[in-house]
Amino acid sequence: DILLTQSPALVSVSPGEKVTLSCRASQRVSNNVAWYHQKPGQSPRLLVYGASTRASGIPRRFSGTGSGTEFTLTISSLESEDFGVYFCQQYNDWVSVTFGGGTTVDFK
């Protein structure tokens, strides 16, 4: 299976700050990476697919970049509803998709 490593595991920020989350794949996955946001007690919500395409209804402050093995999700100006856990997912190996361990974004 393709291993995805997310960093940092935890980041503490204030509203209005810029946040950059990292996802590294154990082998090349082209641009077949998606990002999800999960708030406590809720199901995950798709933010980005194809490494850089925002999903329907996702604000412009979310942007994804990367290809190959290195991927980033940037939130340009954090808002209160953006706190929670962010997961990356690879679907290049579509027979066995895998998720990263997650990055928690909480209040400083």
Distance (Å, rounded) from C-alpha 62 to C-alpha 2? 25
3 state DSSP class of 81 = helix
Q: CB of residue 101 vs other proteins: minimum separation in angstroms? A: 5
Give the nearer residue to other proteins in terms of CB position, either 27 or 77.
27
Tokens representing 16 are 């209005």
Looking at beta carbons only, is 32 or 84 nearer to other proteins?
A: 32
Which residues of the chain form contacts with other proteins (CB under 8 A)? 32, 34, 36, 43-46, 49-50, 55-56, 87, 89, 91, 94-102
Work out how close the CB of 77 gets to other proteins at its nearest, in angstroms, rounded to a whole number. 25
Element housing 25 (H / E): strand 19-25
